[in-house]
Amino acid sequence: MRVECIRLLKKRFGDQFVGGLYPSLEAISHFPDIVLKNEDVYKINYLKHLHNSQICVATRGLLGSNGWKIAEYIAGAKAIVTEPLMYDVPGNFLPEKNYLEFNSPQECIDKVQLLVDNIDLRYKLMQNNYEYYYAYLRPDILVWNAIQLTLLRGVDMHNNNVT
């Protein structure tokens, strides 16, 4: 899925699309056409690209998780296009409100194109993710929410017993 999405995004959006596979030996040997240049992998360049982008695409990893990059996209108040989430996310983080879902490479392209064409929808997702970050993902809030959840579930903090 990831490989086909990257290929279609490169084909459809050309230089507007920044992305590819990490230059591992396996990626270089099997998918050389979509391997990132080494300088694109460096954290400073990744952050520069992320900062300059309004739309971010996430695919699942090998174990089915959408990964921490979703949180980075939220923290940057980005419009997100992602495969359906496999795990529960705290708060009111929902499709069509915080992100657009896709189930095929062509649907990924269609959702990205929708956000390119529809600035109001793109801005709405970005604004919702900005608000979600400050309500749920900001580090102090994340810790506070974890403590509250632990207390609500009745965990004895002194000896790790559930009551």
Q: Assess if residue 113 is contained within a domain.
A: yes
Q: Assess if residue 130 is contained within a domain.
A: yes
Which is it for strands 79-82 and 55-58: parallel, antiparallel or unpaired?
parallel
Q: Which residues of 93-126 are buried (b: 16+ CB within 10 A; e: fewer)?
A: beeeebbbebeebeebbebbeebeeeeeebeebb
The range of the structural domain enclosing residue 108 comes to: 2-18+53-137
Into how many domains does the chain fold?
Answer: 1
What are the pLDDT tens digits along the chain (163 aa)?
999 999 999 999 999 999 999 889 999 999 999 998 877 666 778 888 899 999 999 999 877 888 789 999 999 999 999 999 988 888 899 999 999 999 999 999 999 999 999 999 999 999 999 999 999 999 999 899 888 888 888 755 556 555 4
Q: Quick check: pTM over 0.85?
A: yes
Asked if 104 and 90 count as a contact pair (C-beta separation under 8 A), the reply is: no
Would you call 11 helix, strand, or coil by DSSP? helix
Q: Assess if residue 48 is contained within a domain.
A: no
Alpha-helical runs (H) found in 2-153 = 2-13, 25-30, 38-41, 43-52, 69-75, 105-117, 119-132, 139-152
Q: Assess if residue 35 is contained within a domain.
A: no
